[in-house]
Amino acid sequence: MKLPRTPVREQAPQVRSTNFEEVCYGYNQQEAVLEAARCLQCKKPGCVTQCPVSIQIPQFIEEVKKGDFATAAQIIAQDSSLPAVCGRVCPQETQCEGKCILGVKGESVAIGKLERFVADWAAANVNAAPSLPPANGKRVAIVGSGPAGLACASDLAKMGYEVKIFEALHKPGGVLEYGIPEFRLPKQKVVEHEIDNVKKLGVSIETNVVIGRTLTIDQLLDSEKFDAVFIGSGAGLPKFMNIAGENLNGVVSANEFLTRANLMKAYLAEYDTPIYVGKKVAVVGGGNVAMDAARTALRLGAEVSIVYRRSENELPARREEVHHAKEEGITFYMLTNPVEVLGTDKGWVRALRCLRMELGEPDASGRRSPIAIAGSEFEIDTDVVIMALGTSPNPLIKDTTKGLESNRYGCLVADNQGLTTRPGVFAGGDVVSGAATVILAMGAGRTSAKAIDQYLSPEKSAN
């Protein structure tokens, strides 16, 4: 008889919508072992091929089933430096779990929840210092401490390189620290703990250094004597709609809103960080960023709606986030496109003028394109509009580095190993792909670590 997927415990929607504590409690040992027993241990596991960092999923699940969580953690650690993060935020439904054979006729194994369980268990129970190879005398500089930079740094440190990360903000972690909210990804318990593990590998992190201002890439290579550079500076530049009224007071980018809430801790009473939600907030967009901004605004006391121009089928956010947002009472205006932000005579937002849409033929993204329905105009009353329409890379690094090229989207040009148009300079993550996912950024960081090793130690491949 097939066992059903083991349910995971969560805070009740009406309770969690008023606090910033983690929504999902994760599995306990008994639940994890029960869920692990559902894995069929496929000979050709599709889950592994769909994982951008190729975690040996059946192997770690088998150890969970036996109750050997320490070995399970070691297996995951071979391929991932951020398992507690990925277990919480990866879009498993389209990656590992999407290829689980059990999912064809029923429910896939809860691979993400098992990964999270193992990582949390290891954080609480394992404190062994990692064994490292002797230093090889070569130095690599990493720009940015998000998932791409951290993954690249970890792999290089494990190969014996001296690695230093330069981070523009005052805290490392990239989007994990300033973007994804506490109720989805606890900062101290998860993000800071996993960054500490990277530091235990010997990686040093210098914060408050903006590469392109404080130091340039050319200086890192010339006067600072680094042998190679990896750029993992992300895509932090927000996009706007360019519609009338966007300059009114009360229109903000999701990036700014979430940075104030997360990194600057605006949600804690003891912090005096300015943030405004008014009574009603409309969030424009349908990705993870839109869900995070909406659920943060809800917890700060506003009535919140999401405005998205396609239908629910096309929502790019993780399914779990959409489900949680609905449970918490967020209103979804689907097939709705804002055309103007309307203001009061004092210059503050008062409403969003929108058109209803229908779906036409697929566009370049493969999704059916939205077409406006004539005469369908209506207004959504709101005090604040949060734009969550995607981001692109900041041009600062490209503009201050000789020989670096970017494409028409502002992303750095790099080959499939991450080598840019400047010898010795590699790049990966959102700065190359445009806004994507944590695990893809980590995968790119790992690929570049291998390429940097081949570039700096060619004798290894010759032997």
Ligand X SMILES: Cc1cc2nc3c(=O)[nH]c(=O)nc-3n(C[C@H](O)[C@H](O)[C@H](O)COP(=O)(O)OP(=O)(O)OC[C@H]3O[C@@H](n4cnc5c(N)ncnc54)[C@H](O)[C@@H]3O)c2cc1C
CA distance linking residue 237 with residue 317, whole number of Å: 19
Q: Contact between 392 and ligand X (CB under 6 A)?
A: no
Neighbouring CB atoms inside 10 A of 281's CB total: 29
Q: Minimum CB separation from ligand X for residue 99, in Å?
A: 17
Contacts of 303 (CB under 8 A, 6+ apart): 279, 280, 281, 331
User: What is the phi/psi pair of residue 39, to 5°?
Assistant: -65, 135
Q: Minimum CB separation from ligand X for residue 388, in Å?
A: 8
CA distance linking residue 371 with residue 233, whole number of Å: 35
Among 45, 52, 112, 144, binds ligand X (CB under 6 A): 144
Q: 357 forms bridges with which residues in the sheet?
A: 372
Q: Minimum CB separation from ligand X for residue 233, in Å?
A: 4
Q: Minimum CB separation from ligand X for residue 52, in Å?
A: 10
Q: Minimum CB separation from ligand X for residue 175, in Å?
A: 3
Interface characters, 204-233, with ligand X (x: CB under 6 A): ------xxx-------------------xx
| Residue closer to ligand X (CB basis): 87 or 212 | 212
Q: Minimum CB separation from ligand X for residue 262, in Å?
A: 9
Neighbouring CB atoms inside 10 A of 373's CB total: 13
User: Of 301-320, which residues contact ligand X (CB under 6 A)?
Assistant: 318
| Residue closer to ligand X (CB basis): 63 or 292 | 292
Q: Contact between 148 and ligand X (CB under 6 A)?
A: yes
| Residue closer to ligand X (CB basis): 148 or 380 | 148
Q: Contact between 174 and ligand X (CB under 6 A)?
A: yes
Smallest Cα–Cα separation from 386: which of 267, 266, 238? 238
Among 397, 411, 414, 451, binds ligand X (CB under 6 A): 397
| Residue closer to ligand X (CB basis): 266 or 441 | 441
Q: Contact between 90 and ligand X (CB under 6 A)?
A: yes
CA distance linking residue 340 with residue 355, whole number of Å: 10
State the amino acid at position 462 in one-letter form: A
What 242-249 contacts at long range (C-beta under 8 Å, 24+ apart), as own/partner pairs, is 243/338, 243/339, 243/340, 243/341, 244/340, 244/341, 245/340, 245/341, 245/342, 245/343, 245/349, 246/341, 246/387, 248/341, 248/343, 248/347, 248/348, 248/349, 249/343, 249/347, 249/348, 249/349
Total residues contacting ligand X by CB under 6 A comes to 42
Q: Minimum CB separation from ligand X for residue 272, in Å?
A: 23
| Residue closer to ligand X (CB basis): 174 or 370 | 174
Burial class (CB in 10 A: 0-12, 13-18, 19+), 2: exposed
- Quote the distance between the C-alpha of residue 155 and its chain's center: 19
Q: Contact between 149 and ligand X (CB under 6 A)?
A: yes
CA distance linking residue 261 with residue 305, whole number of Å: 18
Interface characters, 268-287, with ligand X (x: CB under 6 A): --------------------
Among 37, 102, 263, 396, binds ligand X (CB under 6 A): 396
Stretch that binds ligand X, among 52-60, 127-135, 301-309, 389-397 (CB under 6 A): 389-397
First to last CA, the chain: 52
Q: Minimum CB separation from ligand X for residue 145, in Å?
A: 5
User: Of 417-446, which residues contact ligand X (CB under 6 A)?
Assistant: 429-431, 435-439, 441
Residues, the chain: 463
Q: What's the chain's Rg over C-alpha atoms?
A: 23
Q: Minimum CB separation from ligand X for residue 11, in Å?
A: 18
| Residue closer to ligand X (CB basis): 251 or 397 | 397
CA distance linking residue 232 with residue 147, whole number of Å: 8
Among 62, 63, 292, 453, binds ligand X (CB under 6 A): 292
Q: Minimum CB separation from ligand X for residue 169, in Å?
A: 4
Pairing of strands 378-381, 228-231: unpaired
Stretch that binds ligand X, among 73-81, 163-171, 271-279, 338-346 (CB under 6 A): 163-171
Q: Contact between 180 and ligand X (CB under 6 A)?
A: yes
Q: Contact between 179 and ligand X (CB under 6 A)?
A: yes
Q: Minimum CB separation from ligand X for residue 273, in Å?
A: 17
Is residue 141 within a helix (H) or strand (E), and if so which, with residue range?
Answer: strand 139-143
Q: Which residues of 399-430 are buried (b: 16+ CB within 10 A; e: fewer)?
A: ebbeebebeeebbbebeeebbbebebbbbbbb
Q: Contact between 89 and ligand X (CB under 6 A)?
A: yes
Q: Which residues of 110-129 are buried (b: 16+ CB within 10 A; e: fewer)?
A: bbbbbbbbbbbbbbeeeeee
Stretch that binds ligand X, among 21-29, 58-66, 89-97, 375-383 (CB under 6 A): 89-97
Pairing of strands 331-333, 303-307: parallel
Q: Minimum CB separation from ligand X for residue 266, in Å?
A: 15
Give alpha helix (H) positions in 280-356: 288-299, 319-327
Residues at the contact surface with ligand X, assessed by CB under 6 A: 89-91, 143-149, 166-169, 174-175, 179-180, 210-212, 232-234, 236, 258, 288-289, 292, 318, 394, 396-397, 429-431, 435-439, 441
